Chains A and B, each alone.
Chain A
Amino acid sequence: MIFADGITLLCNDIQVDPQDIVMLVLSWHMKAGTMCEFSKKEFTEGLQSLGIDSLDKFREKIPSMRSELKDEQKFREIYNFAFGWAKEKGQKSLALDTAIGMWQLLFAEKQWPLVDHWCQFLQARHNKAISRDTWSQLLEFAKTVSSNLSDYDAEGAWPYLIDEFVDYLKENGVNQHGQINDSSLN
C-alpha cells in the first residue's frame, strides 16, 4: 500500500504538486478506491494501462493526462469518479468540506462561474454531507444551465439542494454575470 508519505515522494519524483488536479486523473486511471492511498494492484495495473515503466515516461505522460480534463466525456467520468474516491470508506455521502475542496479544484478546470456561490450557499444553508446524486447532477447543472439562470427549469427534476441554491441566488440578486449584488456575502 502506498499512503500519503509515499504519494508525496512520488509527486516529488514526477515534479507534480500533490494538490495538482492531475493526481486525480492519475488516481482515476488507477481506479483508486480512496484518496491518498494506492494499493499495489491499483498502482501497478494503473501504470501498466498508461504504458508507464519509468520515471521519465511518467513525467512525459503528465501533460497528456492533464489534457484529458479538456475532453467532455472524460471530464465527466473523472468528476463522477472523484465522489467515490474522495469520500470516507463505508460512508454513503461525501463530507461537505471535502466536497467543497474537490469542487473548487474541479471547477477551476471547468470554469463554472457559480462555484463560489455554490460553496458559500452550502456552508450557509446546508451544512450536511453531499449525496452522490447531488454530486453528479451538479455537473449537469453547471453544463446545461446558464449562470444567469435564465434557462433554469423549476420542473427540471434537479435535486432539491440545487433548487434551493437557485432560490438562494434569486434572493440575493444574481445579475447576468453571475455576481451577487449583496456584498455582505463576500
Chain B
Amino acid sequence: MQVTLGCLRNAYNMVLQKFGEKLYSGLVTTMTSHLRQISQSIESAQGEIFLEELNRKWVEHNKALLMIRDILMYMDRTFVPSSRKTPVHELGLNLWRDVVIHSNKTQSRLLDTLIDLVLKERNGEVINRGLMRNLIKMLMDLGLSVYQNDFEKHFIEVSKDFYCCESQKFIESCNCGDYLKKAERRLNEEMERVSHYLDPSSESKIIKVVETEMIENHMHTLVHMENSGLVSMFVDDKYEDLERIYNLFRRVPSGLTIVKDVMTSFIRDTGKQLIMDPERLKDPVDFVQRLLDLKDKYDKAITLAFNNDKTFQNALNSAFEYFINLNARSPEFISLFVDDKLRRGLKGVGEEDVEIVLDKVMMLFRYLQEKDMFEKYYKQHLAKRLLSGKTVSDEAERSLIVKLKTECGYQFTSKLEGMFTDMKTSYDMMQGFLACHGAELGDSPTLSVQVLTTGSWPTQSSPQCNLPSEILGVCEKFRSYYLGAHSGRRLSWQANMGNADLKATFGKGQKHELNVSTYQMCVLMLFNNADRLSCKEIEQATAIPMPDLKRCLQSLALVKGKNVLRKEPMSKDIAEDDAFFFNDKFTSKLFKVKIGTVVAQRESEPENIETRQRVEEDRKPQIEAAIVRVMKSRKILEHNNIIAEVTKQLQARFLPNPVVIKKRIESLIEREFLERDKVDRKMYRYLA
C-alpha cells in the first residue's frame, strides 16, 4: 500500500466529518480479506518453505501495520478511544492472530514444525535458529497467552516425554558419573536454547522439566548404583563426580538429603567396621591414625566437592560421634595416640605442624562421650611421660593442656597442671640439694628425685620396698634436706615408678649400661653379693609384692636380648622356688640396654575392667552433686525431668546412665536429701 499525502488527508477528513465508524469498519474488512489471502498462501506453502513464508509475510504485515497506523493516526487518537474500539496496531495483530495463525491448518502445523525443529536440534542436528527466534517472537508479540497456549504448553509436554525416555535409556546404559555428565550437558543445552530463541519466561519451566525427569525421578537409582554410585565415588575420591552430583542434586527437592543420608550411613558403617575389627584394635596408635585419615578423607570431599556445606559437615560429625563411642576403649586409644605423638611422633616437627596434630586430637576428643575416661588415661600416660623424661616438647604438652582447658574448663586441667608444677619444683629442689650437699656426695650414686604431690598424680601408693644399701645413704640425705625445707610433710619412696641406670660388667669383661626400673635395680643389686637366689629369697630381700616381682624377674631373665639374669629351670613361668643367676654370658650389640619400661601401653583386659570400675565409682558423687544442684533450684521435679536435667549438666564429661541416676536418687532419699511427693509418686521433693 502506498502512502500518499492524499490518503492521510482523506482519512483525516473522514474522521472529521464523523465517518470514523465507516473508516474503521472498512479497515477491518479490508485487512481481514487481505489477510485471508495471505493465510491461504501460507497454508499452501510446501515443506520448509512454510516457516519462511510465514516469517516473510509476518515481516511485511508489521511494516504495513506501521504505515497504516501512521495514516490513521488521527482516528486512532480520537475516534478509537471515544468509541472504545481496539487501537489500529493492536487490531492488526489480533487479525493476524485470528485469521492467519489460528487458521485450522496453520495453527497445528506451526506448532508441529516448531516442536519438530527443537527435537531435531536435541538430536544433534543444526537448525535455523534465526528463523525460530523470529517466529517465537511473533507469538510473543501476539500476546503472552498466545505464546503459552500455542507453543510453550506443548513444548513443555513434549519435552517431558523426551526427557523421560532419554533418562530411561541412559539409566539403563550409563554408569552414574556418565549419566550425570549427560544430565548436566542437557541442562546447559536447554538454557542456551532458551537464550537463543525462546522467551526467557520459559527458562525456569524447561529447566524444571529436565531436573525432574533426569534427576529427581532417578535419584535413588543413581545414588545406589553399584560400582559407580555415591559410595564408590567416595571410596575412589572422585571429587569431580561428587561435585557434579552435589550441584545437580541440590536443584531438586530432597536431592541433597539423599546424598547426605547415604554418605552418613556409609561413614557410619565404615567407622563401625574399623571400630569392631579386632586386628585394628591391637595397635591403638594405628587405629587412631586411621580414624583421622577417615575424617580427613571426608573433610576433603566436603571442601572440594560439596562447597563446605554445613549440613554435610554436621552429618560427618554426628556419624563420627556415633561410631567412636561404640568402642568403649576409644578414650584410652586416643590418649595412647597422643602419648605416642608427644613421646616420639612429633620429634623434629615444626611448631605449626605440631599444632595441627594437636587440633586433630582435640577434634576426636570432642566426639567422645566419656571424656572423664579420657581424662583418667591421659593423666596416667602424662605421668609416665613426665617421670621418664620422655616428652618430645614441653611446649607441645602445655599447648594441649591449654586446648583441653579451653574445651572443658579449669577443673579438667588443674590437676594436670599440678603435675607440671611438681616437675619444675622437683627440678629446683634437686638443684638446691646438689648445691648444698654436692661436695659430700662424692662417689655416691647420682640421685635424681621427683617429689609428687599426692592427689595430683594418678599413683597408687606402693608398699615400701627395700632399697639397695648402695643408695640408702644418698636417699636419706635427700629426705632430710627436703624435710628440712618442708617440715610438716611426709615423704614416701614410690619404688614402682622410678628408674635407674646401672653399670654392669659381664663374664668376658664386656661392660654395659643397663637402664632399668627401680624394682629391677633392687633385684639386680642383690647379685653383687650372691651368685644364686631363689624367687622367694629375692622377695624376702626386696619386699617387692609377688605379682610385681614375677613380672620384674620375667623382664630380666626371659626376654631375648635383655636376659641379664639366667633362670633355672628354663620354663616360661616363674615359680617361687626357681633359681636365678647373674648371666655372665649376656651379650648385646648396644652399650646401653633398655630393660625397664615405664612407657604407656594398651591395658590388658583385667586392667581395663578395673579402670572402668574406678571411673564408674568416680561418677557416682558427680551424679549425686548434679541431682542435688538440680533439685535445690527446682524444689520439686518429676523423675524423667530430673534424668534429663542431670544428663544435660553432666554430658560435657560423660553420659550418665539413667539407671545409675535412679540409684543415686534412691540413695539420696535414704539419706533424706529428697523425698517422694505424697500424692504423685513420680515427683520428688528437695528436703532443705
Contacts and interface: CB of A to CB of B under 8 A. Distances in A.
Interface in B560-618: none
Contacts of A133: 666, 669-670, 676
Interface string B661-678: 011001001100000100
Looking at A132, A134, A157, the one whose CB has the most chain B CB atoms below 10 A away is A157
B639 A157 contact: yes
B666 A159 contact: yes
Nearest to B676: A133
Contacts of A93: 670
B576 to A, nearest CB: 37
A159 B676 CA distance: 11
Contacts of B639: 155, 157
A7 to B, nearest CB: 31
B681 interface: yes
Interface of A: 92-93, 131-134, 137, 140, 155-157, 159-160, 163
Contacts of A132: 670
The list of the 7 closest CB pairs from A to B, nearest first, reads A157-B639, A157-B682, A133-B669, A160-B662, A131-B670, A160-B663, A159-B666
Contacts of A92: 670
Contacts of B640: 155, 157
A132 B663 CA distance: 14
B659 interface: yes
A137 B681 contact: yes
B666 A131 contact: yes
Contacts of B663: 160
A160 B659 contact: yes
B659 A163 contact: yes
B638 to A, nearest CB: 8
Contacts of B662: 157, 159-160, 163
Contacts of B681: 137, 140, 157
A34 B586 CA distance: 77
A166 to B, nearest CB: 13
A174 B639 CA distance: 28
A137 B665 CA distance: 14
A156 B659 contact: no
24 contacts: A92-B670, A93-B670, A131-B666, A131-B669, A131-B670, A132-B670, A133-B666, A133-B669, A134-B666, A137-B676, A137-B681, A140-B681, A155-B639, A155-B640, A156-B682, A157-B638, A157-B662, A157-B681, A159-B662, A159-B666, A160-B662, A160-B663, A160-B666, A163-B662
A158 to B, nearest CB: 9
Contacts of A157: 638-640, 662, 681-682
Interface in B650-664: 659, 662-663
A88 to B, nearest CB: 16
A156 to B, nearest CB: 7
Given A93-B670, A134-B666, A155-B639, 9 more contacts: A92-B670, A133-B666, A133-B669, A133-B670, A157-B640, A157-B681, A160-B662, A160-B663, A163-B659
Looking at A132, A134, A137, A160, the one whose CB has the most chain B CB atoms below 10 A away is A160
Contacts of B682: 156-157
A157 B639 CA distance: 6
A163 to B, nearest CB: 7
A133 B662 CA distance: 12
A129 to B, nearest CB: 11
A31 to B, nearest CB: 20
A131 B668 CA distance: 11
Contacts of B669: 131, 133
B58 to A, nearest CB: 78
A151 B676 CA distance: 21
A133 B640 CA distance: 18
Contacts of B670: 92-93, 131-133
Contacts of A160: 659, 662-663, 666
B100 to A, nearest CB: 78
A8 B663 CA distance: 41
Contacts of A140: 681
B658 to A, nearest CB: 9
A131 B675 CA distance: 13
A52 B242 CA distance: 93
B650 to A, nearest CB: 19
Contacts of B659: 160, 163
B50 to A, nearest CB: 78
A152 to B, nearest CB: 14
A163 B676 CA distance: 17
Nearest to B639: A157
Nearest to B671: A92
A48 to B, nearest CB: 29
Contacts of A131: 666, 669-670
A123 B617 CA distance: 26
B405 to A, nearest CB: 36
Nearest to A155: B640
A93 B681 CA distance: 20
A146 B210 CA distance: 62
Nearest to B675: A133
Contacts of A163: 659, 662
Contacts of A155: 639-640
A63 to B, nearest CB: 31
A30 B638 CA distance: 36
A92 B670 CA distance: 8
A151 to B, nearest CB: 15
B435 to A, nearest CB: 60
A131 B670 CA distance: 7
Nearest to A137: B681
B432 to A, nearest CB: 54
A38 B545 CA distance: 57
Nearest to B640: A155
Interface in B361-386: none
Nearest to A140: B681
A65 B628 CA distance: 43
Nearest to B643: A155
A108 to B, nearest CB: 25
Nearest to B638: A157
A160 B638 CA distance: 16
A157 B665 CA distance: 10
A112 to B, nearest CB: 18
A137 B662 CA distance: 14
Contacts of A137: 676, 681
A159 to B, nearest CB: 6
A163 B661 CA distance: 14
B262 to A, nearest CB: 34
A163 B638 CA distance: 18
Contacts of B638: 157
Nearest to B665: A157
B634 to A, nearest CB: 15
A96 to B, nearest CB: 16
A137 B666 CA distance: 11
Contacts of B666: 131, 133-134, 159-160
A140 B681 CA distance: 9
Contacts of A156: 682
A92 B681 CA distance: 21
